[in-house]
Structure 1
Amino acid sequence: MTEQQLNAPPPAKPPIPASGIRHINRRHPDRFTVVGNHLTQHRELSLTAIGLAAHIQSLPAGAKVTIKCLADRFPEGEVRIAAALRELEAHGYLARTRERLPSGQVITRTVSYNNPPAMTASPPIPPPAPTAAQPAPITPSPEAHRAAAELLTDLRRHDPRLLLSARDVRNLAPATTAWLDRGIPPEAVSRTLTAGLPTAPIHHPAALLAHRLTELLPPPLPATPRPARPDPLQNCESCDRAFRSPEPGHCRDCTPSASRSPAMAA
Structure 2
Amino acid sequence: MANPGYGKRLTADENPRGEADFAHLPPRAAELASLIDRLPEGSAMGYKVLAATHPVHGQQACRSALRELTDAGHLRLVKEHLTLEDSSKRWVTRTYWSRIRRSDAWWAEFVRRVHGVDVTVLGRAGLARVGEADEADEPAPAPAPSSSEAYGVLARLGRTEPRMTLSAADCAALEPLAAEWLARGATHNHLTQALTAGLPSPVHSPAAIARTRLENKMPPTSTTGTVRARVNKIVMMCGGCEADETTTKLTNGLCAACREELDREPESDDTWPPVGYIPDTFRADPVECVVNHHFRADEARIAAGLPPRGRG
Give the TM interval when normalised to the shorter protein.
0.3 to 0.5
More RCO (CA 8 Å, sep 6+): 2
TM-score, structure 1 length as denominator? 0.36
- Greater share of strand residues, 1 or 2? 2
Q: Which has the larger radius of gyration?
A: 1
